[in-house]
Amino acid sequence: MDVHCSSCGEPWDVYHLRHDAIFETDLDPTEAEVWRGLSLTERLSSRYREKFKVAGYEFGASILNVIHCPGFPKGAKPDPDKAALKAGIVEILGDDEDGIAATMEDFGL
Ligand SMILES: [Zn+2]
């Protein structure tokens, strides 16, 4: 399943975001492994958000809500309608990552 970046529309594989994107940060592999075992909230703590940001990723309240992605022109802004819709989906579905992924895919988000 894919979800799309709010800024450039690039599709991102859900599995990649949940399991592999962390290895694109400058965390060492041991730390990245630890991250994979954290709760959904802990995975997006400010420390990890900072790491992701350096790697080019910016997320909303869920790691499946990609606001900015790597390889994306700096300074471009996310589509406000898409961003709002995605934030709403995450708010409704909370920790249900499978539900979030399926709903975003249904809406082509
Ligand atoms: Zn993007």
* Contact assessment for residue 54 and residue 25, using Cβ atoms and an 8 Å cutoff: yes
Report how far ligand 1's centroid is from the alpha carbon of 66 (Å): 8
* Contact assessment for residue 93 and residue 103, using Cβ atoms and an 8 Å cutoff: yes
Assign 75 a pLDDT band (cuts: 50, 70, 90).
Answer: confident
**Neighbour-count burial of 105, counting CB atoms closer than 10 A to its CB (0-12 exposed, 13-18 middle, 19+ buried):** middle
Report how far ligand 1's centroid is from the alpha carbon of 67 (Å): 7
Report how far ligand 1's centroid is from the alpha carbon of 58 (Å): 9
Report how far ligand 1's centroid is from the alpha carbon of 47 (Å): 21
Q: Dump pLDDT digits (tens) for 28-61.
A: 999 999 999 999 999 999 999 999 999 999 999 9
Report how far ligand 1's centroid is from the alpha carbon of 105 (Å): 16
- Beta-strand relationship, 2-4 and 11-13: antiparallel
* Contact assessment for residue 58 and residue 68, using Cβ atoms and an 8 Å cutoff: yes
